[in-house]
Amino acid sequence: MWDSLIHFDKELLLFFNGHHTPYWDDVMYLYSGKWIWLPVVLTLVYVLFRSAGWRETVWTLLSVALLVVLCDYLPSHYIKPFFARLRPTHDPELAGLVHIVNGYRGGLYSFFSQHASNAAGIVIFTTFLFRNRFYSVVAVVWALVSCYSRLYLGVHFPGDIAVGLLWGTAIGFAVWGLYTCGRRLFFGSVPLPYRKSKEIGYIPLVLILTFVVILFFAPMQNLTH
> Is it true that domain 25-217 has CATH number 2.60.40?
no
Which amino acid does the sequence have at 177? G
Q: Rounded to 5 degrees, what angle do the CA atoms 74, 30, 10 make?
A: 60
Per-position b or e across 168-192, b if 16+ CB within 10 A of its CB? bbbbbebbbeebeeebeeeeeeeeb
* For residue 1, pLDDT beyond 90: no
The whole-number pLDDT of residue 224 equals: 45
Reply yes or no on whether the pLDDT at 223 is more than 50.
Answer: no
What count of other Cβ atoms lies within 10 Å of the Cβ of residue 95? 10
Residue 213, pLDDT > 90, answer yes
| Residue 222 scores a pLDDT above 70 | no
Look at residue 221 in the predicted model and tell me its pLDDT: 64
Average pLDDT, rounded, for the chain:
91
User: How large a percentage of the chain has pLDDT more than 90?
Assistant: 72
Among residues 98, 74, 101, the alpha carbon closest in space to that of 86 is found at 98
pTM of the model: 0.90
Which of the four pLDDT bands, split at 50, 70 and 90, describes residue 71?
Answer: very high
Per domain, the residue ranges of the chain are 25-217
Round to whole Å and give the CA distance between 207 and 211: 6
Q: In this predicted model, which residue has the larger pLDDT, 144 or 196?
A: 144
Q: How far is CA 48 from CA 43, 64, 199, in A?
A: 9, 12, 9
Q: What pLDDT, on the 0 to 100 scale, is given for residue 5?
A: 82
The model's pLDDT over 83-134, given as tens digits with 9 standing for 90+, comes to 999 999 999 988 889 999 988 998 999 999 999 999 999 999 999 999 999 9
Half-sphere exposure at residue 159, Cβ-oriented, CA atoms within 13 angstroms: 15
**2-60: pLDDT as tens digits:** 778 888 899 999 999 988 889 999 999 999 988 899 999 999 999 999 888 888 899 99
